[in-house]
Structure formats: C-alpha cells, structure tokens
Amino acid sequence: MALMRLNKFLAHAGVCSRREADRWIAEGRVSVNGEVVQELGQKIDASRDKVVAGGRLVRGEEERPVFILLNKPAGRIVSVKDQFGRPTVLELLPHLPVRVYPVGRLDLDTEGALLLTNDGDTALRLTHPRYGVGKVYQVRVEGEPADADLDKVRKGIFLEGRKTAPARVQVLRRGHRHSILRVEIHEGRKREIRKLFEAVGYPVSGLVRIEFAGLTLEGLKPGQWRYLKIAEILRLRKLVGR
C-alpha cells in the first residue's frame, strides 16, 4: 500500500484536522509502532503501522466519511466535553459508529444548523475564510432597525479593528419592540452576528442558523439530526475544492 503522511492519516481517520495533527505530532502526542514521532513529514503505511494519538489507537485504514446535520437546541455547548459539566451537542448523538467533531461553533444560546463529521480535512476547509462558505441566520433584534443602519451591516463595519465582509440582510418582519431579519454571511468570526447588530444599536435577542453551506433544517426539530446523503457529501467537498 502507498505511504501516507501521518497528519493526513489522522485527519482522514477523523481524529483531528491536519493542522491539529501537526500540533499533536510536534507535542509528542503521536506514536507509530510504539515510538513517539515528532517529524511533521513522517509517512506511514496505513495498512500495517500501529498509530496511537492522544492515547487512543487509530484504525489502520481510512474510515468511511460520516457527516451529520444537527438542529442544535439552545443551552448546549458545541464541544466534545465541557469542563464545567454543561450539556454538549455530542450527548445528543449517542452510540455513533465513529467519533465525529463539530464543524465550527455556535454560541450556547444560538440554535440551528450544526454540521459534525469525522472528515478533518473537509471540516477545516468549511471553516476557513478562504472558501467563504455561506451561513444564513434568522435574527431577532430589539427595536426596529433603520434602513441606514442595515446598510452599514450590508457594506461591512469595523469590529475590533477589522472590517467585516459584506452581508446580505433581508427584513422579514418589522416591529417597535423587535424585528426579524434574514442575514447571510460568508465569514466566521466569533459571535459576529451579535456583535454586528449591537454595533449599530440593535441587540440580538434570538438567533437561529437556518442554513450552513447550503444545508437547511428542513424536517429537523431542535435536537434532531440526520446523516448526510452521499450526494450532499460530494457537493460539500466540491464546494471547498476536495
């Protein structure tokens, strides 16, 4: 069997992304056939070599790619574990045949579309700014936003010294107490939607991601999930050049 770079092997096995694999290797957390490896260019025979990463034996063959779309309910942490014992999204997915990891993040109180996978390479690309993967939110803001303020969000505003990318904003419902908006962005800064509207004077009181990379919540109630179809997986990979 052809040799494979160790970081690629770990990413394909769903252990972590290639970038994270390089860090694990540099930190001495990966061994091959009982010997710690710290050379980033190390290659292995995936059919014969025994690889242990973070104390866990990694299968000597590539695992079947698994992609899951979850409708994340509010009140759950997007993490494998939480040091404070708060409920996590992984607890909604018991008894899976493989270990999966969240693609990106949603805040504790944010609901909606969350992708999880064991395909570390595709996960990294889906969250990388280079690929500009689209994310669509239904946003409830306090008050009735003025058109001039919405135009600021559409064109981009400075947050923490850096201008945001243009956003698409559609008003779904206006009201004196609160309004409902549809917002599409193509970057993934931390708490970006909340910061955008707070900056123009309309705090967010409700946030649901209704679409991620073209995947919608159709048929999924909060807490429900489904496996992606092969055609959906291929489309995602094509979207990010894989």
Please list the active-site residues.
Answer: 107
Alpha-carbon distance values, 2 to 30, 45, 62, 122 (Å): 21, 7, 13, 22
For residue 26, the Cα-to-chain-centroid distance in whole angstroms is 25
Angle between helices 120-127 and 230-239 (to 10 degrees): 50
- Tokens 């994270």 label which residue? 20
In the sheet with 35-36, reading across from the earlier edge strand, the strands are 35-36, 30-32, 51-53, 56-58
